[in-house]
Structure formats: C-alpha cells, structure tokens
Amino acid sequence: MAAANGKVALITGANRGIGYETAKDLGLQGITVILGVRDIESGQEAANKLQGLGIDAAVVHYDAAKPETAGLVAEYIKQHFGKLDILVNNAGVLKENLIGVNNSSTVSSTVLHETFEINLFAVIELTQKLLPLIKLASAGRIVNLSSILASLTLHSMADSPIEPAKGFAYNASKTALNAYTVHLAHELKNTNIKINAAHPGWVKTQLGGEHAPMEVEDSSKTSVRLATLNQDGESGGFFHENDALPW
C-alpha cells in the first residue's frame, strides 16, 4: 500500500470518536492512515468506512494496556511501509469523575497506576518504538492528545475557567504527557521531527460524555493541523486549534 502523497500516519484509538475523525481528515488529504485499535473487528469496520470515502486505510492491533503490542506495531509498519510520517497518540482512558469532585485526597493507587499506564507510559513506549521509522520520514510529526485540564496555570488561577474539573489521575497524567512532549521536542529540535500536545476540546465522545459542547465532527482540527505542519511550524507547544495554551 502507498499513500497518494507518499505519507503514512498511525492514529491510535482510531476506530471511533476523535481518533476516527482524525484518521478521516488526514486520509482525505491523501495520507495513508493506519488505525491502531484494540479490537480488530471494529477497527476493520472503521477502515471499511474510510475506504468507502476513497481513503487508503489499514488496521493494526494496538492495545495501550499491553506494552508488547507497541513492538508489533513497529514491525508491521516497517514491513508494509518502511517509514512513518505521522504519529497521533490519541488513545487514552478516564477512570474517575472529572466534574464537581476533587478526589486528590481519595484517589486510589489503582486508578492512578491504570491511568498513567495508558495516558503516559504507553505513549512513551509506542513513541520510542516508532521513532526510528519516524526519523526515516522527510518531515516527521508527532501529536500527543492532551487536555486543557493538564494546565497547571489554569488550575491555579484565582478565577480558574476549569475550576470544577479536578479528577486528579486524569489531569496529572495529561500534565505529565505535556512534560514528555516538551522534553522530546527539545531532544529532537535539530531534526526534521516536530512534536506537540493537542487539546481537541470537550467533545461528545465515550470519554467526553453527552454534555460536552463540541461535536465529534469538529474534534480533529487541532490534531490534523499539528500532524501536517510545514517546516516552519511549531514544536514543543500545547495547542487548541490555532491557539497556544498555558502550561
């Protein structure tokens, strides 16, 4: 398989929600999209829908809760494509109530471990496995799906706009992901790779819930912009659409 414009993207958690919309919008730009999914059957259904739109889409088994699958994904991409232009680390987990409850003094070690395992450690594991393939691309791009709830600046403001959202495990895992984004961007600053953190918005997804104000169809804008930055684009930043967010 070969992309119409020669580019290949992996999007994790891409069988539904923000990941699927990101895959669709990248695919409509002529980029081959690989859907990294836990369930191959649902992933193939998503790929079939994309193919029906004329998109070159493939499926690979990836489970953020199973670190060994990261190496299998890397081997699959190496064998079938030889390099990777875009990595969108979209898969994530929420295991607590975010709104109206501050659980900082009661959050369990189990929830903390499980949340950090998926939202941070799995991202690092997969990114490290795929970096050799991204380095083979002419303009590698890495997008880490973060959240505005990662912002320590906004949380600590006297009139914080995110004051009610104090699910500690989720928020802290995304803050740590932002730190990884900054550090990796610094390490790669003299390469052709750009890495950024994206806040997609509060979206009506399985994770975001039905009361979220943003429709899923609009949720991919930030990820797609950062995945397709030109050589003068930003690196090491935290964005929602075109706006930089405070750390």
Per-residue pLDDT averaged across 67-93, rounded? 97
Q: Does domain 8-94+116-152+170-244 have CATH number 3.50.50.60?
A: no
Asked whether residue 211 carries a pLDDT value surpassing 70, the answer given is: no
The catalytic residues are 170
Mean pLDDT of the chain: 92
Categorize the per-residue pLDDT at 87 as very low, low, confident or very high, splitting at 50, 70 and 90. very high
pLDDT digits (tens, 9 = 90+) for 4-18: 569 999 999 999 999
- HEC-encoded secondary structure of the chain: CCCCCCCEEEEECCCCHHHHHHHHHHHCCCCEEEEEECCHHHHHHHHHHHHHCCCCEEEEECCCCCCHHHHHHHHHHHHHCCCCCEEEECCCCCCCCCECCCCCCCCCHHHHHHHHHHHHHHHHHHHHHHHHHHCCCCCCEEEEECCHHHCHHHHHCCCCCCCCECCHHHHHHHHHHHHHHHHHHHHCCCCCCEEEEECCCCECCCCCCCCCCECHHHCCHHHHHHHCCCCCCCCCCEEECCEECCC
pLDDT digits (tens, 9 = 90+) for 145-185: 999 999 999 999 999 988 989 999 999 999 999 999 999 99
pTM for the structure as a whole: 0.93
